[in-house]
Structure formats: structure tokens, C-alpha cells
């Protein structure tokens, strides 16, 4: 994530993620599933603007009408966790500008929570390091710690155990976000644990080597067949991506967003144009993005 100051405002840009690989390894006693996943941060950002609130109150405003700004919002949960763990009594006014589609498997809520932890650490001068922040993040959700890693990471456990990976090259994606979401709990509830899970070793090597064709060949998401059974409309978008012949295509997370992995920026532009001007231009949001650059 990126942090900057403008006058009295502290601004944090919170990136989305895509899953290049996701395997389900088993069911845990705590009700979650044991997974192995390879995630990459991409350049589709929510923006959070923080300002000191001298009254000591916490106020959250969102650009999305109907999105709860109460205690159930992950941003507010992150605020409360920071205050509990540090004893800080200071206040903040937070403005959340949403661009990452809600319920799309792109971790919009998780990245906002991570941005809140990082933003308050800066705003309130708490002195927490990356390890401290990642520890707090693990208490908020499975995907939240990832956003304190580098551009990509191999994540295990329920997703909170993060091993940073280096990308061998910039990756270009076209995201297709249908006008409907999927509930993560519903998808996981219906997934079957495979007898012989994929290890993901080959795609990890391909990612670090920057071998786009090989990455495309090895893309895998155990949740996608389940999501397509629950929501058959997903198959239409999958087939449209396949017809454009990118290096590979896949659903991200538990859906409903899908992505095409492109060989270069020119191919990404061609695919994005085709998707935006096809028969479904009013039915899905299309984003041309790249993997988040170093630093």
C-alpha cells in the first residue's frame, strides 16, 4: 500500500489482490478451511483519507451509499483493535473512497482494514513495525496480513501465514467484475477437499522466474467450479475470457471477479477494449491493471 500526506490529510491507497493459485487442503477444527494460495497485489485501489479528530471520536464516511459504516465494517473493526491493543485515546475522521467491487473476491474489505492499521499507525505516531501490524491484521481476517507483504506472497493456514515472493516481471491483468457478488461462506461450505491437493510448487517457480505462459498454464482455483455451480452466470464471463485467448484466465478468491493474465500491456489493452465494447458492456466492470510495482 502507499501512504502520503497532503496538508492535514494522511492518504492511504489500498490495492486489490488476485489469486493466481488457490487450493483447499482440509477443514480446520475452528471451522475455517486450510488453504494454500498465491496472491498478487494489483493496481486497483480504494483510497482512505485520515484526519486527526480532536474530539477523540471516530467518524467513518464512505463513497458507497448503503455500505455500513458501523461496528461491522472492517475499517471500524481495525480502529477498535488498534485502540484496544495500544491504549490510544485519540480520534480520527476517515473517508473511504471505494473502487474495488464489493463481494468480488478481490479483498476490498481486507485491504481497507490493512490500510486502516497502517494509516492510524502513521496518524497517531504509534511506532508499530510491519510485524506488529501483520499480527493485528491476522486478528481481523484471513487476507488482511497479505497486504503487509511485498507485491506477491504464498499464503497458508487460513491465509494469514504469509511468505513474500518476488515477481520475476510485471504482470498485466484484465479484471472482469460481474454485477453480482458471491458470499465467501457459501462457496467454502460447498467445496470438497481433494484427495490429492495441488502443491502449487510449479506456479511459485514460474512467478519468481517471470514466465507468463507457464503461469497461465498453471493457474488454479479449487473454488471456481463450486462458484460456477452456485452461480451459473459466471460461466458466461469465463467463456468470454477464454475466447480472447490470453495466457490464462481464472476466478479470483471465492468470486465473483475473474481475470485474464495477459502477455504484455498491448494484449491487456486489446482484451479490455473487447470486453468493454462487447454485448455485456453494461453488465460487468472491466479494469486493466498491472501487478503493484516495487516500493
Q: At what angle do helices 130-140 and 108-123 cross, to 10 degrees?
A: 140
CB 279 within 8 Å of CB 32: no
Out of 8, 83, 131, 143, the active site residue is 143
154: left (phi over 0), alpha (psi -120 to 50) or beta: beta
Q: Is 17 a catalytic residue?
A: yes
Q: How far, rounded to the nearest angstrom, does the alpha carbon of residue 173 sit from its chain's CA centroid?
A: 14
- Maximum Cα–Cα distance across the chain: 57
Give the separation between CA 118 and CA 43, rounded to whole angstroms. Answer: 18
Cell numbers of 147, please?
Answer: 497486504
Q: How far is CA 102 from CA 43, 76, 123, 141, 184, in A?
A: 16, 17, 27, 16, 12
Give the residue from 145, 150, 137, 141 showing the smallest Cα distance to 161.
Answer: 145
Residue 51 is a catalytic residue: no
Which is catalytic among the residues 17, 51, 72, 112? Answer: 17
Active site residues: 17, 143
Amino acid at each position: 500500500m502507499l501512504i502520503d500526506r497532503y496538508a492535514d490529510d494522511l492518504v492511504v491507497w489500498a490495492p486489490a489482490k488476485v489469486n493466481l493459485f488457490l487450493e483447499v487442503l482440509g477443514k480446520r477444527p475452528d471451522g475455517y478451511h486450510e488453504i494454500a494460495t498465491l496472491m498478487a497485489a494489483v493496481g486497483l485501489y480504494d483510497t482512505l483519507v485520515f484526519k486527526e479528530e480532536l474530539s477523540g471520536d471516530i467518524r467513518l464516511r464512505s463513497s458507497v451509499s448503503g455500505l455500513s459504516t458501523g461496528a461491522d465494517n472492517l475499517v471500524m473493526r481495525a480502529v477498535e483493535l488498534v485502540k484496544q491493543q495500544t491504549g490510544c485515546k485519540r480520534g480520527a475522521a476517515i473517508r473511504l473512497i471505494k473502487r474495488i467491487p464489493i463481494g468480488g473476491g478481490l479483498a476490498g474489505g481486507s485491504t481497507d482494514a490493512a490500510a486502516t492499521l497502517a494509516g492510524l499507525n502513521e496518524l497517531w505516531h504509534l511506532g508499530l513495525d510491519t510485524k506488529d501490524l501483520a499480527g493485528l491484521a491476522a486478528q481481523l481476517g484471513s487476507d488482511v496480513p497479505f497486504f503487509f507483504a511485498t507485491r506477491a506472497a504464498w499464503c497458508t493456514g487460513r491465509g494469514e501465514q504469509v511468505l513474500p515472493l518476488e515477481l520475476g516481471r510485471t504482470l498485466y491483468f484484465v479484471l472482469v467484475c460481474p454485477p453480482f457478488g458471491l458470499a465467501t461462506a457459501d462457496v467454502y461450505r460447498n467445496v470438497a477437499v481433494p484427495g490429492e491437493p495441488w502443491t502449487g510448487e510449479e506456479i511459485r517457480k514460474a512467478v519468481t522466474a517471470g514466465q507468463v505462459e507457464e503461469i497461465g498454464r498453471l493457474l488454479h482455483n479449487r473454488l471456481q467450479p463450486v462458484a460456477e455451480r452456485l452461480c451459473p452466470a459466471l460461466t458466461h464471463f469465463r467463456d468470454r475470457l477464454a475466447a480472447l485467448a490470453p495466457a490464462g484466465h481464472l476466478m479470483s478468491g471465492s468470486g465473483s471477479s475473474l481475470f485474464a493474465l495477459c502477455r504484455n500491456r498491448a494484449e491487456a489493452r486489446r482484451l479490455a477494449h473487447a470486453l468493454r465494447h462487447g454485448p455485456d458492456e453494461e453488465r460487468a466492470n472491466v479494469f486493466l491493471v498491472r501487478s503493484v510495482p516495487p516500493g
